[in-house]
A and B are shown apart, each in its own frame.
Chain A
Amino acid sequence: MSQIVELEIPARTEFLALARLVVVSAASIEPAFTEDRLDNLRLAVSEACTNAIEAHSDVQSEDRVHIRCDLTDERIEVEVVDRGAGFDPDDVEALPDVEDPRRLDHENGLGLMMMRHFTDEAEIRSSSSGTAVRLVVYSLPDFSDS
Chain B
Amino acid sequence: MVWTTLTPVDGVSRQLDDGVITVRPRGDLDLGGAPAFRSMLGEAISGARIGQVTIDVDLAAVDFVDSAGIGVLIGGLRRARARGGTLRLNNVPSELQDVFDLTGLGSVFETVDS
B71 at interface (Cβ–Cβ under 8 A)?
Answer: yes
Identify A47's interface contact among B66, B102, B103, B105, CB under 8 A.
B66
Task: Please report the total number of B residues contacting A with Cβ < 8 Å.
Answer: 25
Contact of A43 with B95 in the complex, beta carbons under 8 Å:
yes
Task: Please report the total number of A residues contacting B with Cβ < 8 Å.
Answer: 29
In angstroms, Cα B81 to Cα A103, docked, is 13
In angstroms, Cα B93 to Cα A43, docked, is 13
A58 to chain B, nearest CB (A): 13
Residues 70-90 (chain A) with a chain B CB within 8 angstroms: none
In angstroms, Cα B98 to Cα A114, docked, is 10
A30 at interface (Cβ–Cβ under 8 A)?
Answer: no
Is chain B's binding surface mostly helix, strand, loop or mixed?
Answer: helix
**Which of B1-9, B26-34, B42-50, B52-60 lies at the interface with chain A?**
B26-34
Identify A43's interface contact among B66, B72, B104, B107, CB under 8 A.
B66
- Return the CB mask of B14-31 against A: 1 if under 8 Å, else 0: 000000000000001011
Contact of A107 with B99 in the complex, beta carbons under 8 Å:
no
Identify A105's interface contact among B68, B78, B104, CB under 8 A.
B78
Nearest residue in B to A20 (C-beta to C-beta)? B64
**Which of A9-17, A60-68, A127-135 lies at the interface with chain B?**
A9-17
Contact of B31 with A50 in the complex, beta carbons under 8 Å:
yes
B residues with CB within 8 A of A: 28, 30-32, 64, 66-68, 70-72, 74-75, 77-78, 81, 95, 98-99, 102-105, 107-108
